[in-house]
Structure 1
Amino acid sequence: MKKTTLLALTFALFSGTSMAHTLQNGAPLPPAKVAEHGELTLNGDDIVYQTWQTEQLPGKVRVIQAIAGRSSAKEMNAPLMEAITAADFDDARYQTTTIINQDDAMWGTGGFVKSSAEDSKREFSWSSIVLDENGNVAEAWRLKEESSLIAVLDNQGSVRFVKEGKLSADEVNQVVSLVTQLVNR
């Protein structure tokens, strides 16, 4: 009985660790590509989708928000997105990139997730919005379901901050301060 309990505990501990995201401070993002749907771009008032991949991120300081296609995941770090919008960073040096995992949406809501992403692109045309139909990014980065990941990248594409889950008020301030420092370099 003790061997079985120890074995079960060991398995639980190691399986939990293997599910941790793969992003590391000081390193580039693990490669990921989204061909189905991809990055939303505006052509007049029409939305056009194009292939997106992590290799196109260097060049600007970025906050990456990788979220499940659920309202609860979007709301998880809404205070950070509000603080970023209020900071009004220079578009030539900064961009928010939101990656929406449509594969992690509640059953039957995929169309709503897509139309919501398109509405957001029209409202925040300067932001980069990626609709990941098959969850390629979540799989490549081993993200938790029904969650939100925030990462700050410097202009070289290296991760400078990363956290999965809801940021505290102190962490929101830390992210805004870090982005301010990186943009003003």
Structure 2
Amino acid sequence: MKKLTSLLGIVTILYSTSLFAHNIQLNSPLATVSVAKDGELMVKGDDIAYQAWHSAQLAGKVRVVNHIAGRRDVKERNQALIEAIKGAQFDRTKYQTTTIINADDATFGTGSFVKSGAEKGKKANAHSQVVLDQSGAVKAAWQLKEKDSLVVVLDKAGKVKFVHEGALSAAQVQEVIGLIGELVK
């Protein structure tokens, strides 16, 4: 019986730590990280250019950071949030969405589709910040789960006000929209 209790305790600890694997803390900035290849997508006329990106760039505006594995099903998990943000029409001088796509966590053989999808998305939403992370640097720095998504709300000082890994519920989508509304006032 003692062995069974110990085993259950160990399994519980391992399971609970896997649920909260990230190192992101409320009211603190995100761990610093740089993405050199490919980095931030920039619209240059009809073309897309890439430049190095650093997490220090996140301060200055209220923002939702949406980190997603380069997989279609992961991208779709929090589409309701993206639609709600578009519908809210937040002041672009005070708010910005940052989408970080982990191309290192893409289905084998789909890397070129992930990159072209990121470029198409940037052109359609030029005001949003899009970062293509080919090496998984952000996932490693923030200790994120594979094949998943992360939503973080940052205040204009770059401090975390909301964090959730995985799909948001409808109530959480409304919580995020309300929180952004309060932060941009």
Q: Distance in 1 between matches of 2:178 and 2:16?
A: 32
CA distance in 2, matches of 1:178, 1:22: 22
Alignment correspondent of 2:167: 166
CA-to-partner distance for each residue in 1:52-94, whole Å, 9 max, x for gaps?
1111111000000000000111100000000001111111100
Moved over 6 A (4+): none
In the alignment, which residue of structure 1 is the partner of 2:74? 73
Secondary structure at the counterpart of residue 25 of structure 2 = coil
Paired position in structure 1 for 2:10:
10
Q: CA deviation at 1:12?
A: 6.6
Identity of aligned residues (%): 52
Call closer, same or farther: CA 1:16–1:107 in 2, change over 3 Å. farther
1:17-166 correspondence runs (5 A) = 17=17, 20-166=21-167
1:109-159 CA-to-partner distances (Å, cap 9, x unmatched) read 000000000000000000000000010000111111111100000000000
- What is the SS of the residue equivalent to 1:119? helix
Separation in 2 of the partners of 1:90 and 1:39?
Answer: 22
TM-score (normalised: structure 1): 0.93
CA RMSD of aligned residues (A): 1.7
SS in 1 for 2:29: coil
Amino acid in the other structure paired with 2:166: G
In structure 2, relative to structure 1, the CA distance for the partners of 1:158 and 1:9 (3 Å cut) is same
- Whole-Å separation in 2 of the counterparts to 1:63 and 1:11: 34
Q: How many residues align?
A: 184
**Gap regions ≥5 residues in structure 2:** none
Q: Tell me, which stretches of 5 or more residues in structure 1 are unaligned?
A: none
* Counterpart-to-counterpart distance in 2, 1:137 and 1:110: 17
Report the CA distance between 1:3 and its aligned residue. Answer: 4.3
Measured after TM superposition, the shift of residue 6 of structure 1 is: 3.0
